[in-house]
């Protein structure tokens, strides 16, 4: 033990006092001390072990022909052309720490193992993202700025709130969970830039072992300015680590081009002259028919010399170059990476059929490339808009694959739903269901004051059946772990009539499908003004409440009209859609404008141009032309109750499968806006039912911000 007598006494005294030892003593006290370790204030080796059930929000699968499915991939229903068995890809919305923990320790781990294990992880975690979390979106003919959710803002700011140590804490825990989830022959690629590359390297060394570093890749690019006071910072670093000495790697080649001065020009020209007339005509025919030419012709046709070489660990070529705003591939999503970059990584470090994951998936580049390369995948992201962007992108891939008669898998959108809220509320998720339900009721009582404070109201017990008051309204707060039901709303109406209340606000984390506007109209007929509003998960962030950043939005409403034609086919028409967003108050914005200034804001569900002329007179112009302008995506499930949502719940009693009381939305038809096509149809394609009878038809609308509204109606098919 290489410590002095004085140091030895200090160590003994600290142990007796139950205090932690300074990190400098670790190498001296333990024989198996780490070769390298990064130390920062508050560092802990504890890893999240919570297991939360995954709830299925939506199942998406473009119909396919039987000929494109290899028997070893999955089973398929011949009638519908939809996948019925085998691995379905996963797109998960939520905190990736909880997602990783639930994958590592929960029932889905068995599904991953049955799928061959997780063979490759690519992550591009946020690093020093600054304070701008906004996105530019289009509503109708106008561009608007979408602010990030409070949850996203605080999550990213917490990552850098205390400098590099907070980033290290965030990433360290996730890397340890990712390491546990990887198969023994798996590998990971972690992308970062000059600001954190040193930190990331040391974290990876600690988690995977320095001997498992396979490459430190430099991804260079030549865009966005030049260096004046320093060398231009024009590269990212990608660290490539394996979990063990056994891993997949397929060497990749690229064309290296040499200009004429470096080759034998006369020989090169003679090769071109020696092409036969037949070969020349063949080349011309292929060019006219837009077919690719044989690689062997490169050095004969061009005034440069091509040579295939193995790719180095410095990547600076057209196939991996970063995206620019004018690129057809660019989705206007921050941090989006080019498909060529992910194609190189996935092809090199996995095989067709392998499972690939990206737990900071953003716009879904990794997932799209994995699908095109016949890999299975899991993607996760904290941002609702990221999930929505990925969903549209992956549906487009399914459509293209179907058109080309190529295989693809179904994918499902998952979240941790009410279980994540229970976790945030401090409920022990390992408790049996009954005890957890009781704890949920208790926690709800504790959170009532918090929720009401965020809402701008206050607790009140003077009116039984209500939880608080705000201005002239009585407030009812729904449960923590379940949606507000029609029965809940009717009880609120009955209590309002009993106490002579004329204004009621109903707050809920979720609402039963279709209770608005019908319930609001029912209340109105009885002389009660009723408002239904969502409680955002932001209420679990006390700092956001203190700063007044938590916003409660009205439940959107949706009107649909199913119709059956003479042939028996059924179509669904969207007849109305309403949202009530307000990112900025138009009047307050107008007051803050300088004379001659103008700004576009979102207020009360409208895009509003606020301006002030040179004399200081303010004007407001509503730019939103139609309710359809707000719709970015919509989908139809023509038989909504055909598949129950059954989840696997882990507790001290073991793993049990339970029906949540909900149904999985089976996406059977959808339409959405794309970057190149901003139009959207308001009537679905026809659907033919095999058996007449009464069906429940569900329609899901996702607005331009990524928020969804669902309506379910009964329809009798003749």
Q: Give the pTM.
A: 0.84
- φ/ψ of 155, rounded to 5, equals -65, -45
Give percent of the chain above pLDDT 70.
Answer: 84
Q: What is the chain's alpha carbon radius of gyration, rounded to the nearest angstrom?
A: 29
Residue 303 has pLDDT above 70, yes or no: no
Asked if residue 424 belongs to a domain, the reply is: no
Residue 263 has pLDDT above 50, yes or no: no
> Does residue 413 sit in helix, strand or coil?
strand
Residue 712 contacts residue 640 (beta carbons within 8 Å)? yes
Q: Tell me what the mean pLDDT of segment 685-707 comes to.
A: 92
Which candidate, 48, 57, 104, places its Cα nearest to that of 429? Answer: 48
pLDDT of residue 440: 81
Say which residue, 661 or 298, is predicted with more confidence: 661
pLDDT of residue 68: 58
Asked if residue 26 belongs to a domain, the reply is: yes
> Are residues 565 and 539 part of one domain?
no
Last residue of a domain, one of 546, 570, 586: 546
Query: Is residue 405 left, alpha or beta, with left meaning phi > 0 and alpha meaning psi from -120 to 50?
Result: left
DSSP states of 447-462 as a string? Answer: HHHHHHHHHT-EE--S
**Residue in this structure with the two tokens 């059977």, named with its chain if needed:** 668
Please give the DSSP secondary-structure letter assigned to residue 684: P
pLDDT of residue 221: 80
Residue 286, domain extent: 254-310
Specify the range with the lowest mean pLDDT, choosing from 319-328, 390-399, 404-413, 563-572.
Answer: 319-328
> Where residue 17 falls among pLDDT bands split at 50, 70, 90?
confident
Q: Tell me what the mean pLDDT of segment 157-176 comes to.
A: 80
> Where residue 131 falls among pLDDT bands split at 50, 70, 90?
very low
Asked if residue 355 belongs to a domain, the reply is: yes
Q: What is the pLDDT of residues 331-385, one digit of tens each?
A: 777 778 999 999 999 999 999 999 999 999 999 999 999 999 999 999 999 888 8
> Where residue 528 falls among pLDDT bands split at 50, 70, 90?
very high
> Are residues 526 and 404 part of one domain?
no
> Does residue 409 sit in helix, strand or coil?
coil
Residue 267 has pLDDT above 50, yes or no: no
Say which residue, 268 or 140, is predicted with more confidence: 140
Q: Report the range out of 158-172, 241-255, 428-442 with the highest average pLDDT.
A: 241-255
Last residue of a domain, one of 546, 574, 598: 546
> Are residues 607 and 665 part of one domain?
yes
> Are residues 337 and 278 part of one domain?
no
> Are residues 531 and 565 part of one domain?
no
> Are residues 576 and 672 part of one domain?
yes
Per-residue tokens: 132:
């701008």
Q: What is the pLDDT of residues 214-231, one digit of tens each?
A: 999 999 887 666 667 888
> Are residues 201 and 107 part of one domain?
yes
Rounded to the nearest integer, the mean pLDDT of the chain is: 84
Q: How many domains does the chain have?
A: 5
Q: Tell me what the mean pLDDT of segment 512-518 comes to.
A: 69
pLDDT of residue 447: 83
Say which residue, 158 or 657, is predicted with more confidence: 657
> Are residues 690 and 640 part of one domain?
yes
> Where residue 450 falls among pLDDT bands split at 50, 70, 90?
confident
Q: What is the pLDDT of residues 67-83, one digit of tens each?
A: 555 555 677 777 677 88
Per-residue tokens: 190:
């972690």
Q: What is the pLDDT of residues 384-412, one digit of tens each?
A: 888 999 999 999 999 999 888 888 999 99
């Amino acid at each position: 033990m290489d410590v002095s007598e004085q140091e030895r006494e200090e160590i003994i005294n600290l142990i007796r006092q139950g205090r932690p030892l300074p990190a400098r003593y670790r190498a001296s006290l333990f024989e198996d001390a780490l070769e390298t370790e990064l130390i920062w204030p508050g560092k802990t080796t504890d890893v999240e072990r919570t297991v939360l059930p995954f709830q299925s929000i939506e199942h998406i699968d473009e119909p396919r022909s039987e000929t494109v499915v290899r028997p070893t991939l999955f089973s398929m229903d011949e009638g519908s052309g939809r996948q019925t068995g085998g691995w379905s890809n996963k797109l998960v919305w939520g905190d990736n720490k909880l997602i990783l923990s639930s994958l590592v320790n929960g029932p889905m781990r068995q599904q991953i193992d049955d799928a061959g294990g997780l063979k490759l992880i690519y992550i591009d975690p946020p690093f020093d993202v600054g304070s701008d979390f906004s996105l530019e979106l289009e509503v109708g003919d106008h561009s608007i700025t979408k602010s990030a959710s409070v949850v996203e803002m605080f999550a990213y700011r917490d990552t850098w709130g205390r400098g590099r140590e907070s980033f290290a804490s965030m990433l360290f825990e996730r890397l340890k969970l990712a390491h546990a989830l990887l198969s023994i022959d798996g590998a990971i690629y972690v992308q970062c830039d000059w600001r954190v590359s040193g930190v990331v390297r040391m974290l990876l060394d600690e988690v995977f072992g320095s001997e498992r570093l396979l490459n430190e890749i430099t991804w260079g690019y030549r865009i966005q300015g030049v260096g004046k006071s320093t060398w231009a910072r024009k590269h990212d670093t990608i660290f490539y680590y394996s979990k063990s000495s056994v891993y997949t790697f397929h060497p990749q080649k690229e064309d290296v081009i040499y200009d004429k001065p470096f080759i034998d020009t006369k020989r090169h020209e003679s090769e071109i002259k020696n092409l036969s007339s037949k070969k020349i005509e063949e080349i011309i025919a292929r060019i006219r028919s837009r077919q690719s030419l044989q690689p062997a012709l490169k050095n004969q046709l061009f005034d440069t010399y091509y040579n295939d070489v193995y790719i180095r660990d410095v990547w600076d070529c057209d196939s991996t170059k970063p995206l620019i705003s004018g690129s057809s591939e660019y989705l206007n999503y921050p941090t989006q990476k080019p498909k060529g970059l992910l194609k190189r990584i996935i092809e090199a470090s996995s095989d067709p059929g392998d499972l690939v994951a990206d737990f900071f998936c953003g716009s879904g580049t990794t997932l799209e490339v994995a699908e095109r390369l016949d890999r299975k995948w899991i993607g996760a992201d904290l941002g609702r808009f990221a999930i929505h962007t990925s969903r549209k992108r992956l549906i487009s891939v399914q459509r293209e694959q179907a058109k080309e008669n190529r295989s693809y898998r179904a994918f499902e959108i998952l979240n941790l739903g009410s279980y994540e809220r229970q976790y945030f509320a401090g409920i022990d998720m390992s408790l049996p269901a009954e005890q957890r339900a009781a704890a949920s009721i208790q926690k709800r009582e504790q959170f009532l004051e918090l929720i009401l404070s965020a809402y701008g109201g206050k607790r009140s017990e003077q009116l039984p059946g209500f939880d608080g008051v705000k201005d002239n309204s009585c407030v009812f707060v729904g449960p923590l772990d379940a949606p507000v039901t029609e029965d809940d709303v009717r009880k609120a109406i009955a209590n309002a009539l009993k106490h002579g209340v004329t204004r009621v606000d109903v707050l809920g984390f979720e609402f039963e499908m279709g209770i608005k506007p019908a319930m609001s109209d029912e209340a109105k007929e009885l002389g009660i003004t009723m408002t239904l509003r969502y409680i955002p998960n932001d209420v679990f962030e006390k700092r956001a409440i203190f700063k007044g950043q938590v916003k409660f939005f009205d439940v959107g409403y949706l009107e649909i009209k199913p119709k059956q034609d003479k042939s028996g086919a059924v179509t669904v028409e969207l007849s109305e859609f309403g949202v009530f967003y307000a990112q900025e108050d138009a009047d307050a914005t107008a007051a803050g404008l300088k004379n001659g200034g103008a700004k576009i804001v979102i207020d009360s569900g409208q895009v509003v141009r606020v301006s002030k002329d040179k004399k200081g007179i303010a004007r407001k112009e509503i730019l939103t032309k139609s309710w359809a302008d707000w719709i970015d995506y919509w989908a139809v499930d023509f038989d909504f109750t055909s598949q129950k949502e059954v989840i696997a719940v882990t507790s001290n009693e073991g793993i049990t499968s339970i029906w949540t009381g909900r149904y999985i939305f089976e996406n059977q038809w959808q339409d959405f806006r794309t970057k190149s096509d901003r139009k959207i149809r308001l009537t679905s394609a026809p659907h033919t039912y095999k058996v007449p009878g009464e069906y429940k038809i569900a329609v899901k609308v996702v607005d331009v911000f990524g928020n969804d509204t669902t309506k379910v109606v009964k329809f009798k098919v003749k």
